[in-house]
């Protein structure tokens, strides 16, 4: 005897198992290596290796257009951030991806310096 609730349970279970399967049950050893803002792109000369998993191939295709953050990759792929970090870590170790820290935010300039620049420009150009 089946109920209407069983298909929902199967669907929910599939969503829970999938990230575990994608990462082969692994977790990042050093989670601080990648933040949500870490920028990722394809390496200049990626190695020619065996065929990649579909998820890793999708990451390479996404990053081929330029730098994307870990958060953007997770958003585009629909994968959890932790899974994306593991996949990026694997691809970086294999030489497929290049990662770098995010660009630091601009530091505020003191108001006095801006006023001196403005006064100098007004004196020079009227």
Q: How far apart are CA 91 and CA 100, in angstroms?
A: 14
Per-residue DSSP letter, 32: G
pLDDT digits (tens, 9 = 90+) for 8-34: 554 454 455 576 677 766 776 666 678
- pTM for the whole structure: 0.66
Tally of domains within the chain: 1
Q: What is the CATH number of the domain that holds 65?
A: 1.10.10.10
Which tokens hold the place of 26? Answer: 């692994």
**Tally of CB atoms within 10 A around 99:** 18
Which tokens hold the place of 97? Answer: 């991806």
Handedness of CA 87, 82, 23, 72 (dihedral sign): negative
Name the residue range of residue 48's domain.
5-125
Weakly modelled stretches of the chain, pLDDT under 70: 1-17, 19-20, 24-25, 28-32
């Amino acid at each position: 005897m089946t109920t209407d609730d069983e298909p929902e349970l199967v669907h929910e279970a599939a969503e829970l198992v999938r990230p575990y399967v994608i990462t082969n049950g692994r977790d990042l050893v050093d989670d601080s290596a990648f933040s949500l803002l870490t920028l990722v792109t394809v390496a200049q000369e990626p190695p020619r290796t065996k065929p990649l998993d579909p998820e890793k191939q999708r990451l390479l295709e996404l990053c081929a257009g330029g730098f994307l953050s870990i958060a953007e990759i997770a958003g585009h792929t629909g994968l959890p951030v932790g899974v994306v970090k593991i996949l990026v870590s694997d691809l970086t170790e294999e030489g497929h991806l290049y990662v770098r820290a995010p660009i630091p935010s601009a530091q505020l300039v003191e108001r006095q310096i801006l006023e001196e620049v403005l006064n100098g420009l007004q004196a020079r150009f009227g």
